[in-house]
Amino acid sequence: MLLWFRNDLRIHDNPALAFALDNRVKHAIFIATPAQWQQHHTAPIKVDLILRHVALLKSQLAQLDIALEVKIVDDFSDQAGQILETLTSIGTNQLIVNTELELREQQRDSQIKEQGVDLISFESDVIVPKGLIKNNADQMFKVFTPFKRAWLKYVLNNGFDYLPKTSGISYNDIMLSKLLPNLTRDDSSKWPVATVVEQHVIPEFLQTKVDHYESQRDIPSIKGTSGLSAYLNIGAISPRYLLTLLINRYPDILQQPHQAFSWLNELIWREFYRHLLWHFPDLIKHQNFNNKYNNLPWLNNPDDIVAWQQGKTGYPIVDAAMRQLNQTGWMHNRLRMIVASFLTKHLLVDWRIGEQYFMEHLIDGDFAANNGGWQWSAGTGCDAQPYFRVFNPISQSKKFDPDGEFIRNYLPELSEIPDKEIHFPHDYIAKHTLDCYWPAVVEHKQARERALAFYKDNT
């Protein structure tokens, strides 16, 4: 048997690995696909995080007497050939995997099966298996809240599978860059590997932050979120493990209102988008979920797009958020909604352009969540923000960064602007003849009226 690691880079709560251990499998493989990563707009900082976790995995598997072979192929289509070659070399036709959600990945696995391979597959990326949460018409929910209710009911009635940690496994540093020296990657070292996260970050979050998550998660100047999305995305940490920890700490959280439920709600949103993509695989082709928006004549002004990308829109909260993304490879979730609304509704730029830019820069770029979030902001998606709801970036800034602490961190040119003026400083700058900030690309009230007419006239 051969164990193939893909988007499941962990030994903890990994059903494919557990099966392999039960069957004394000695061979595992990981295949790096730089051309595929580039085609899917994978951020270089995410590539680095992936490869660091492959190195971690190689060290851990060696202690389990499993040799992980790391290969690199030119293109996505070459993965199947590499797998068939490896199966032949070790004299087996049995391949163990955890399934992947995306359409091309599923098609690739089907092609491998057609070559006579016995594909033994498991599901490791969600808490409740995809396809089990349906409405009374036996269909996927198209609104989050009833999905959440059904999801909670399912977990209460059926529980969920979870495989405890394998004890006695340590991390021996392996420089994977020596094995794969030519891959384009950015430094992700500010993000610790998952073993450190499980030992230190998650316990600290549960002990000191989760009870305040609801009140602090929208404040970008403080670390009020868990910061676990990047690890969930590459499969370095299991969502079932996180739910297990949460239930152990708050046994009634699935049934009773609790301050920590706000964080559980985010995990369920993740489930919602992954279940949605499983039911509607055409979303992977960047189609609008709501077809009535297919003919929107997006303006896609190149200068506006560049201003947004570079953080030079003249709206400080938007510009600071884009600088955070460009400089760190991550953006606070509240800010993701603000900048997405600004691009699609203030500038009338196709949401797909923003979706791609996020994927090119985010360390936690996840297709299902990223696509769902952008379509929510643009009003084109499932359970989306309605087209007539247009975030006011000035009032959002005042509400979530009232003292301008986050803005000043990423826009030091505004460091001397008073708190009450920093959210839209143009009158203050003009009055004091300063030259520290660029003009606004649009005026909010006019942009809002233009967006309302744009959606109303074209749907």
**Quick one: which of 397, 392, 273 has its CA closest to 332?**
397
The pairing of beta strand 118-122 with beta strand 94-98: parallel
Structural element, H or E, at residue 98: strand 94-98
Q: Specify whether 266 is catalytic.
A: yes
Q: What is the DSSP string of 33-80?
A: -HHHHHHTT--HHHHHHHHHHHHHHHHHHHHTT-EEEEEE-SSTTHHH
Nearest 5°: phi and psi at 384?
A: -85, 160
Return the number of other C-beta atoms located less than 10 Å from residue 190's C-beta: 10
Q: pLDDT tens string for the chain (459 positions)?
A: 999 999 999 999 999 999 999 999 999 999 999 888 888 899 999 999 999 999 999 999 999 999 999 999 977 778 999 999 999 999 999 999 999 998 889 999 999 999 999 999 999 999 999 999 999 999 999 999 999 999 999 999 999 999 987 766 765 555 555 555 566 677 899 999 999 999 999 999 999 999 999 999 999 999 989 999 999 999 999 999 999 999 999 999 998 778 899 999 999 999 999 999 999 998 988 899 999 999 999 999 999 999 999 999 999 999 999 999 999 999 999 999 999 999 999 999 999 999 999 999 999 999 999 999 999 999 999 887 888 899 999 999 999 999 999 999 999 999 999 999 999 999 999 999 999 999 999 999 999 999 999 999 998
Q: Specify whether 269 is catalytic.
A: yes
Q: Specify whether 333 is catalytic.
A: yes
Q: Specify whether 298 is catalytic.
A: yes
**Quick one: which of 92, 125, 114, 63 has its CA closest to 3?**
92
CA distances from 130 to 45, 139, 160, 161, 246 (A): 29, 12, 13, 13, 21
Q: Is the whole model's pTM more than 0.85, yes or no? A: yes
Q: What is the DSSP string of 182-223?
A: T------TTS--HHHIIIIIHHHHHHHTGGGHHHHTT-TTS-
Choose the catalytic residue: 100, 105, 123, 266: 266
Choose the catalytic residue: 351, 370, 376, 392: 351
The pairing of beta strand 67-72 with beta strand 27-32: parallel
Choose the catalytic residue: 69, 214, 265, 269: 269
Choose the catalytic residue: 123, 374, 376, 392: 374
Choose the catalytic residue: 93, 102, 298, 438: 298
Strands lying side by side in the sheet with 2-5: 67-72, 27-32, 2-5, 94-98, 118-122
Q: Specify whether 191 is catalytic.
A: no
Choose the catalytic residue: 290, 301, 326, 333: 333
Q: Are 378 and 353 in contact (CB under 8 A)?
A: no
Helices and strands counted in the chain (H then E): 21, 5
